[in-house]
Amino acid sequence: MPILVVGIDIISEEPKRFAVVSWFNGKLVKHGEFTFYRLIRFIRTKKPDIVVTDNIHELGEYLRKFIHAIPQGTKIVQITGRPGEQKPLWGLAKEHGIRVGDKFNPYEEAKVCALLAARGIGYEVLAFEDEVIIKVSRGRSQGKGGWSQDRYRRRLHNLIQNKVREIEETLKKANIPFDIEIKEKDQGLERGEFRVYASREELAGLIKPMRGGDIEVRIRPVERKTFEFVPLKSERAIRERKSVIVGLDPGITVGIAALDLNGQVLMTYSERNMAISDVIKFISEIGHPIIISTDVNPAPGLVEKIARSFKALLFVPRESLKVEEKNELLRNLGVTVEDDHQRDALTAAYKAYLRLKPKLDHVDAKLRELEIEGKGEEIKALVIQGYNLGEAILKVKEKEKPKEEIRAAEEKEASLDLGPYLEKIKELEKTIEFLEKENQELRAMIEEQRKIIENLETKIATYDEKIREKILRTKEIETKEKRIAYLEKELREAKSIIEKLSKDLVLTKRMHLLELKGSAVPIKVIENLTWKELEELERSTSIKRDDVLYIINPAGAGRSIGEYISEKRVKAIISAKPLPNVIYEVLKENKIPVLYESEIEVKRVDEFAIVDRKELEKVIEEKLNQWKEEEKQKEVQEFLRLIEEYRLKRIKELKKKADEEH
């Protein structure tokens, strides 16, 4: 089945840039130079089967971000092998017959990586355990107290409880092992956390993350402490490393045992609280496991996960082994163990070996018959993997094919007439000699040019240093000039403020003196006639009977404010602008004079203002007299209106009576 492989290589470190080449269905495409974040977007869009590089640690500080960002199902492959066993990239290319161009070209490296991975070469990087953390919690803040908030909180906790139960049922139906930790609250759950012993791929489609609603479901894979490297194809691991049969006894104390393909015990081991990554690393150091076995049926989830990690066959006995049977198997082996965990692991491995022994003995017999020596273990491992004996022998012999071809070519060459070839060789030797001399001359020229370049670079460095000092000096002067200009501006502004404050101080002193003499009345200033400013004024100085209020902007005030001021029985209101009619009428009804700046002079400094006492008394008296006169006029008009209405009514009555008499 066609797969998409993306090969990458580092072009530059600062800033990080990558050469990207893809391989699909036999075609190579050079995509160009990518930044890190553009590379991530490209991989998320294309969703390749494999992303491959010669060394993942070249990603440096971006490595963790890269691993978390790639889409689910995409494998990360290090082509040169696991750390400590790496092979040069160009050596791998030559081994697999891949032609190489410019070895210093990043695109060439990315291309070779993609071609090798497409052939199943390289090691998959396992960054995550086969474990997933699922957290269920509230998605929104509960807000501050109150009856409705308590009800909302209880509803949230019930929703979380229902979602936790739903996930629990889903995992149980799918036979996926898990542990759960919950925090109860309000007869519901405040949160729930699952540790699921399965890979992200196994959970795909079963449980979906949720965000943005009343509850949140977050799914996070568990990172390994150290990366594990497993071969893309098990045949390669079989060829390169010792094949073993591993028995596992999981639990608080983990038991591990290993046998070779001849049934010899290689090791037994047990340890408390051993992490999955530590188990995988321990097994990797022994060899390549062809079979992972257990002594119980059904197999524990941990054993299944480790078998998947190594792409090994899982051996499960038809029924769980009994203690008597385990002890019998140990007696047959003639081996003593330290504890029951080692015993269970060793008997599981030995049981698997006994199941395979007839097939392995048959392979040994055939190899002796075919007189094939030294390759028995590799051929046995391939047979266990599912190859028939003929295919396994052919795969092993393919490695020796180049040597056989060389030998055949030498034999063929011996039977040919070598004269013309010898003459051609002599001509080529002369050409080589000429080219070597020319090469020496060119090297001498290069050395001379190198010295000239070094001399020029020294001069440029000296010149650059002088220029740099000059630029720094110029920049320093510019910075100081800007600083001086800024300080001069600040000084001008400060002088202006001081001058204004001095004038205000003189005026304030005069106003205060007038107030002390009794010739001036202090008035309380309200910038905007609103409830907020009235409340602030009440808190600071309070509004008292016979106060005079100076209102700068009365717009927007309503009847209730007018009634409030009237209740305070203030002496007068002075307004910079016309008062709204509704307030004016309320004040007029309550005989509180309303004065305007055109009628009286107000002297003000910030929040402090005064008016002349005599002038105020005079204007208040005039305003009250004016209103009194207006009231009299209004009463006269009303009286005249009533008389007119009576006259008209009387005329109608007399007219009606006259008509009746006639």
pLDDT beyond 90 at 135:
yes
pLDDT beyond 50 at 405:
no
The total number of structural domains in the chain stands at 5
For residues 146 and 90, membership in a common domain is answered with: no
Domain of residue 161 covers 130-224
Overall average pLDDT of the 71-80 stretch = 89
pLDDT beyond 80 at 391:
no
Q: Residue 118 contacts by C-beta under 8 Å, 6 or more apart in sequence?
A: 3, 5, 23, 50
For residues 480 and 441, membership in a common domain is answered with: yes
By percentage, how much of the chain surpasses pLDDT 90?
13
- Strands 253-259 vs 188-196: parallel, antiparallel or unpaired: unpaired
Assign 426 a pLDDT band (cuts: 50, 70, 90): low
For residues 485 and 523, membership in a common domain is answered with: no
Tokens describing residue 147: 């009856």
Backbone angles phi, psi at 316, to 5 degrees: -125, 125
Overall average pLDDT of the 345-371 stretch = 84
CA dihedral over 27, 33, 36, 39, signed as positive or negative? negative
For residues 264 and 279, membership in a common domain is answered with: yes
For residues 257 and 342, membership in a common domain is answered with: yes
Tokens describing residue 11: 């072009």
CATH number at residue 37: 3.30.420
For residues 472 and 566, membership in a common domain is answered with: no
Pairwise pLDDT comparison (118 vs 240), residue with the higher score: 118
Tokens describing residue 312: 């090994």
For residues 602 and 613, membership in a common domain is answered with: yes
Residue 402 within a domain? no
Q: Tell me the average pLDDT of the chain.
A: 82
Tokens describing residue 509: 């002193």
By percentage, how much of the chain surpasses pLDDT 70?
88
For residues 358 and 325, membership in a common domain is answered with: yes
Question: Which range has the worst mean pLDDT, 98-107, 368-377, 422-431?
Answer: 422-431
pLDDT tens-place string over residues 495-512? 888 887 776 566 556 556
pLDDT of residue 212: 74
Overall average pLDDT of the 539-546 stretch = 82
CATH number at residue 147: 3.30.70
pLDDT of residue 403: 43
Overall average pLDDT of the 220-234 stretch = 78
Residues in a beta bridge with 7: 21, 52
For residues 189 and 319, membership in a common domain is answered with: no
Residue 410 within a domain? no
Cis previous bond, 522, omega within 30:
no
Overall average pLDDT of the 593-605 stretch = 84
Residue 441 within a domain? yes
- Strands 123-138 vs 75-78: parallel, antiparallel or unpaired: antiparallel
CA dihedral over 592, 597, 602, 604, signed as positive or negative? positive
Residue 485 within a domain? yes
Residue 407 within a domain? no
Residue 117 within a domain? yes
pLDDT of residue 284: 82
pLDDT beyond 50 at 414:
no
For residues 248 and 367, membership in a common domain is answered with: yes
Residues in a beta bridge with 20: 8, 32
pLDDT of residue 513: 57
Rounded to a whole number of angstroms, the CA Rg of the chain reads 49
Contact 109, 89 (CB under 8 A): yes
CATH number at residue 319: 3.30.420.10
Residue 456 within a domain? yes
Residue 166 within a domain? yes
Q: Which amino acid is at 373?
A: E
pLDDT beyond 50 at 82:
yes
For residues 291 and 211, membership in a common domain is answered with: no
Q: Which amino acid is at 140?
A: R
Tokens describing residue 361: 């003995």
Please give the model's pTM, rounded to 2 decimal places. Answer: 0.42
Overall average pLDDT of the 584-594 stretch = 88
pLDDT tens-place string over residues 292-340? 999 998 888 888 888 877 778 888 888 888 888 888 888 888 888 889 9
pLDDT of residue 607: 67
Boundary-marking domain end, from 337, 365, 383: 383
Pairwise pLDDT comparison (434 vs 657), residue with the higher score: 657
For residues 373 and 293, membership in a common domain is answered with: yes
